[in-house]
Chains A and B, each alone.
Chain A
């Protein structure tokens, strides 16, 4: 064990891991986080807290994680390179580790153009792969990016994202390899609706033996409505929603679409679980946290191993 991360412990034990996701509020309301944390607690091994997802101003990931931690969750602080240069990023890495956060997910970040402050200046001093590398050197070498040494290193389980559905497809395995070389311990993928394409990517991953060097959590998410599916297909960059998914949701009466969306999610979980090299799932039920216990239960993934205290 490199860290005190519950997620690392579950993965190292060879158990099929489940991570969830919590989006902080667009306000200073701590109760929103406590309410979501209570729903997720006991049903997942760790919970990602997003860092200004879609470039919308929300409560800071580290702050929301601290509140969720009080509710007993092991958090994965998401950290994007959009808003902070390497000086600020490293300061936050030290801070979250000192506050008892055990996991970090290093992301480049959604472009500021998509958010509620499109007039903002993006930073992108470093990218996600470089951030992984920086955090790994801080933890394992006790060194800052500039080479200076530190007395107490941040013990963080280091994650990165992978999108098997973006172009060019042939490069997607290479990009994963780079993230592993940079120091990623675990990977969470883009939401999977096209299981065949994900399986093809995993084949490329296994061909290079990458699944033995990193823990891969397959991203899944329930769809609430036909409109949401269509929106993701047409509008969300890097999302692959096959027509068959939309047809399946259209094939049930309107008042049952969300139920079908939950069933579809459970089906996808059981399909990706069969793929060699998949070490767990990352369940993203954003603003629909209440269905997480049902999905995890229906997928046969309860009870979760009791968390580290």
Chain B
């Protein structure tokens, strides 16, 4: 069973044109499996834009990934965009650790059964097969918005909280804050069209 698939080049190309890139590649779930060759082809196609690359197992492991970020600090500093090849959890971990960087995922996550709990983590991935993180500042509205909105925040967002429960942060408020920080507020103008739920084998 494929854990992730590599996104189409035309989906990523407009996001990264003429940008300096740093790449994180996660090989932790390679056995279930990660399309290594396709990923390598994709990366080879990026050519001169790449200023550095780190391959590691289990990007979802926050502390571990944090160590890698420290080790590659100078390359990451030079990059304008961080590209992540991993499941949605790994992409969210990187995004949360590099709050001032634009982080894009190059993968759609299809299947994580039995793997999500491998390391304790604060992020979830619904394995929806059509990763939306590139338009939400790396925060997942499918997994974390009570109504799974792609065009949030809804009218019930108040003081950073979801209307459903004061203990639930409004992920769309967090998305707006993050996009503001990254100078990407225009992303909010994008019309999130009806999602294809027929991609993932688990939904």
Contact = CB atoms under 8 A, between A and B. Distances in A.
Interface of A: 81-82, 86, 108-109, 111, 113, 122, 124-130, 133-134, 145, 161-163, 166-168, 170-171, 174-175, 177-178, 181-182, 190, 237-238
Contacts of A163: 155
A129 B193 CA distance: 8
A131 to B, nearest CB: 9
A113 B167 CA distance: 14
Contacts of A127: 147, 149-152, 154, 192
B194 A130 contact: yes
A50 B78 CA distance: 54
Interface stretch (B16-24, B41-49, B157-165): B157-165
Contacts of A124: 147-149
B39 to A, nearest CB: 31
B188 A111 contact: no
Given A166-B153, A174-B188, A175-B151, A113 B194 contact: no
B130 to A, nearest CB: 13
Contact of B146 (A111, A126, A145): A111
A234 to B, nearest CB: 11
Interface in B25-43: none
A171 B188 contact: yes
A213 to B, nearest CB: 15
Contacts of B188: 171, 174
Given A111-B156, A111-B164, A238-B158, A168 B147 contact: no
Given A167-B173, A238-B163, A108 B154 contact: yes
B120 interface: no
The 4 closest A-B pairs by CB, nearest first: A163-B155, A237-B163, A237-B156, A129-B151
B1 interface: no
B176 A171 contact: yes
SS class of chain B's interface: helix, strand, loop or mixed? loop
A81 B194 CA distance: 12
Nearest to A239: B158
Given A113-B164, A168-B176, A237-B158, A86 B151 contact: no
B194 A182 contact: no
Contacts of B193: 130, 133
Interface in B126-182: 146-160, 163-165, 170, 173, 176-177
A128 to B, nearest CB: 8
A161 B147 contact: no
Interface of B: 146-160, 163-165, 170, 173, 176-177, 188-189, 191-195, 197
B160 A86 contact: no
A163 B158 CA distance: 11
Nearest to A129: B151
B194 to A, nearest CB: 5
8 contacts: A111-B156, A113-B165, A124-B148, A127-B151, A129-B191, A133-B193, A167-B160, A168-B177
B191 A190 contact: no
A238 B155 contact: yes
A166 B156 contact: yes
A111 B176 CA distance: 22
Nearest to B163: A237
Nearest to B149: A127
Contacts of B155: 161-163, 166, 190, 237-238
Residue among A124, A128, A170, A171 facing the most chain B CB atoms (10 A cut-off): A171
Contact of B154 (A86, A145, A166): A166
Contacts of B192: 127, 129-130
A171 B172 CA distance: 10
A111 B148 CA distance: 11
Contacts of B189: 174, 177-178
A163 B154 CA distance: 8
Contact of A111 (B147, B158, B173): B147
A167 B127 CA distance: 29
A109 B164 CA distance: 12
A148 to B, nearest CB: 14
Given A127-B192, A129-B151, 14 more contacts: A108-B149, A113-B146, A162-B155, A166-B154, A166-B158, A168-B173, A174-B188, A175-B151, A177-B189, A178-B151, A182-B191, A237-B155, A238-B155, A238-B156
Contacts of B153: 166-168, 171, 175
A174 B189 CA distance: 6
